[in-house]
Copies of this chain bind each other. A is one copy, B any other.
């Protein structure tokens, strides 16, 4: 086994739990927030800064790295850890989400969280021309958004790429559907995702056998099924019964559907394996996920918001570029003890963003990432000392007060 997951404590009357996830590159204390490093870089931050913020694990994107600089090239350099100088635990996704964001979802105002709810979070979502993707039973053909070249990804290809990249935890190839799709399409897509999960697992095992049975990589299967109870439960049963090391909960959600979907799935998944809610990271969603048995989260929101000047505080998000902050000598958040809040004023940050200084995006990303990582750590601590319900109530009351 490439990883070892242990549950330390469970939440009374709910699915939540605190634990540890041992990987070949170090231990993750769960629940944990995973910093996103799409193209082998957590945007605007050095790995030293990422580590200093308390991040224990980084997720990079298979689709992006496959196109540029190429998985074989990364392999020839000694793998992704060495390439990007991140020597802690590392994950790669399967590329499946890009099938969605480049294909079915394009131009439909939906992403990880439907844009109708005002919460679109995927920063690479609107980068590309429509209809670059064609899905068949065997795999997905698509044109590169970089140079228009034609590519074909199958479950086997996704696993091969992820073996070349060499992250500690990798994901089975899946199809992510839009909540706007009809039941019939959700059902078809789920069937494909399940076939692809088996093929991903089989190929992963065959590569390990070819390597003499040795592997430092854990494979997570992905549960889909959209907003449909029957499909989510079916998927959790099917994927949960396969020999995966952990699970990802995928999908594009309408915000109101997220909690039920997570609950349906986690009530069925085998409790002794870790669960990752893919692409979700707003505070209220993190509380919901943790309470309902999610161990890992990743999301581009902290760094994307950070670059744009939207900063998290204990009283909700602020846009630091607003004129009101030009004279504000206080820190971003009085309750925060990150290195940015200890050393810089809102006025200075406001100045940096207004002056288009790159340091604004760096400091904003540092604060936001710390804020979110630390928030999930505090949830973990509150599970351990039996105060999760109070912590959730108190935090959200203040956070959502405006």
B residues less than 8 Å from A152 (CB atoms): none
Q: Is B348 a contact of A84 with CB atoms below 8 Å? A: yes
Q: Is A46 a contact of B362 with CB atoms below 8 Å? A: yes
B residues less than 8 Å from A129 (CB atoms): none
Q: Shortest beta-carbon distance, A289 to chain B, in Å?
A: 29
Q: Is B358 a contact of A43 with CB atoms below 8 Å? A: yes
Q: Is A326 a contact of B73 with CB atoms below 8 Å? A: yes
A188 at the B interface (CB under 8 A): no
B residues less than 8 Å from A45 (CB atoms): 359
A352 at the B interface (CB under 8 A): yes
B residues less than 8 Å from A329 (CB atoms): 77
Choose from B46, B49, B68, B355 the contact partner of A351 (Cβ within 8 Å). B68
A137 at the B interface (CB under 8 A): no
Q: Is B355 a contact of A358 with CB atoms below 8 Å? A: no
A41 at the B interface (CB under 8 A): yes
A357 to B358, CA, bound (A): 12
Q: Is B362 a contact of A358 with CB atoms below 8 Å? A: yes
Choose from B49, B85, B343, B347 the contact partner of A69 (Cβ within 8 Å). B347
Per assembly, the copies of the chain total 2
Q: Which residue of B lies closest to A355 (CB)?
A: B39
Q: Shortest beta-carbon distance, A319 to chain B, in Å?
A: 17
B residues less than 8 Å from A362 (CB atoms): 44, 46, 358, 362
Range for the number of chain A residues in contact with chain B? 35 or more
Q: Shortest beta-carbon distance, A389 to chain B, in Å?
A: 38
Q: Which of A287-346 contact B (CB under 8 A)?
A: 307, 326-327, 329, 343-345
Seed contacts A45-B359, A77-B329, A358-B361; 4 additional CB < 8 Å A-B pairs:
A39-B355, A41-B352, A69-B350, A69-B351
A153 at the B interface (CB under 8 A): no
Give 26 CB contacts A-B under 8 Å.
Answer: A39-B351, A39-B352, A40-B348, A40-B351, A41-B355, A41-B357, A43-B358, A44-B359, A46-B359, A46-B362, A64-B355, A68-B354, A69-B326, A69-B347, A69-B350, A69-B351, A73-B326, A73-B327, A73-B347, A76-B327, A77-B347, A83-B345, A83-B348, A358-B361, A358-B362, A362-B362
Q: Which of A63-121 contact B (CB under 8 A)?
A: 64, 68-69, 73, 76-77, 83-85
A28 at the B interface (CB under 8 A): no
A363 at the B interface (CB under 8 A): yes
Q: 9 tightest A-B contacts by CB?
A: A44-B358, A69-B351, A41-B359, A41-B357, A39-B355, A85-B343, A83-B348, A77-B329, A85-B344
A307 to B357, CA, bound (A): 12
Choose from B345, B347, B357 the contact partner of A43 (Cβ within 8 Å). B357
Per-position 1/0 for A23-55, Cβ under 8 A of B: 000000000000000011101111001000000
B residues less than 8 Å from A73 (CB atoms): 326-327, 347
